[in-house]
């Protein structure tokens, strides 16, 4: 039996519902899961094939329940390539969410703002991405039961979901930026030259996650909504030191606004 089937059996035995969407909560954003009603909590250690979540601000729990009246499966913390996990483990939770029945993935992260207009605490809707990890979860033999050999990536982030998020934010009075996310391998924060590079390539924010997960979701035919919390301003000409604790704290301070946008989108579904 393959790892995906093992993981599916373990979660389905504890929670029999079919989720409407999957939710990945990034650094410092685990509190968004506090709004999930009737939660069934499954530690990652109890899901076969799952890695351990070792990053700051990642609790390492799968939470199944109801959000905005809809069944959801949420990752309270994710896996990163920089933690040393193979890429198939990094994207296994996305494939599990799809196998459980989720047709939509909401992915969140903490990111550095390379757009000079961005400020710490801003929320950014991701409308496109740049893969600077130089790793792809689809390398190798393709599983046709999940998706096609050559999935189209011309619009990885769903336009209708972006429009719904913009409406939800406007209704709640929450300002939203909109831009391109560049995914780097990490775990080091970028140099001044690297910040200049990603900005010249067209990125508005940079982080160490999300890109492999979105590729796996698109491969599986899922609709994707992406939200970044700008946790540090990355001005190459005025660059201060950044710590993981600072990033997690800045993301946690924005968790309530992230939750409001997500609930607003769910309400339209």
Binding site for a purine D-ribonucleoside, residues? Answer: 190, 232
Evaluate whether 228 touches 181 at the Cβ level (below 8 Å): yes
Identify which of 262, 247, 252, 249 has the alpha carbon closest to the alpha carbon of residue 112. Answer: 247
CA distances from 138 to 36, 178, 208 (A): 32, 27, 18
Q: Which residues fall in the annotated binding site for phosphate?
A: 27, 58, 78-80, 110, 209
Residue 229's SS3 state is strand
Element holding 129 (H helix, E strand): strand 123-131
Return d(Cα 51, Cα 130) in angstroms, integer.
25
Return d(Cα 235, Cα 113) in angstroms, integer.
8
Identify which of 79, 231, 202, 235 has the alpha carbon closest to the alpha carbon of residue 131. Answer: 202
Distance of CA 5 to the CA centre of its chain: 22
Evaluate whether 254 touches 123 at the Cβ level (below 8 Å): yes
Token pair in block for residue 207: 């982080």
Q: Which residues fall in the annotated binding site?
A: 27, 58, 78-80, 110, 190, 209, 232
């Amino acid at each position: 039996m393959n790892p995906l089937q093992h993981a599916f059996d373990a979660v389905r035995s504890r929670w029999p519902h079919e989720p409407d969407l999957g939710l990945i909560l990034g650094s410092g954003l685990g509190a968004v899961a506090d709004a999930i009603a009737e939660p069934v909590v499954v530690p990652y250690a109890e899901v076969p094939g799952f890695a351990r979540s070792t990053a700051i601000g990642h609790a390492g729990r799968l939470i199944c329940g109801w959000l905005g009246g809809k069944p959801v499966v949420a990752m309270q913390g994710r896996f990163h390539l920089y933690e040393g996990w193979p890429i198939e483990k990094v994207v296994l939770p996305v494939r599990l969410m799809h196998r459980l029945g989720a047709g939509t993935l909401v992915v969140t992260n903490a990111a550095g703002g390379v757009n000079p207009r961005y400020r710490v605490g801003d929320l950014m809707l991701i409308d496109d991405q740049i893969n600077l990890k130089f790793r792809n979860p689809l390398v190798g033999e393709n599983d046709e039961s999940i998706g096609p050999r050559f999935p189209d990536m011309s619009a990885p982030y769903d336009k209708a979901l972006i429009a719904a998020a913009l409406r939800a934010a406007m209704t709640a009075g929450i300002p939203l930026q909109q831009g391109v996310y560049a995914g780097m391998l990490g775990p080091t924060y970028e140099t001044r030259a690297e910040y200049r590079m990603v900005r010249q390539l067209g990125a508005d924010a940079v982080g160490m996650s999300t890109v492999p997960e979105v590729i796996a979701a698109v491969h599986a035919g899922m609709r994707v909504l992406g939200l970044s919390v700008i946790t540090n301003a990355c001005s190459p000409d005025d660059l201060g030191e950044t710590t993981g604790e600072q990033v997690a704290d800045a993301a946690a301070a924005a968790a309530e606004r992230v939750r409001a946008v997500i609930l607003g989108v769910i309400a339209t579904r």
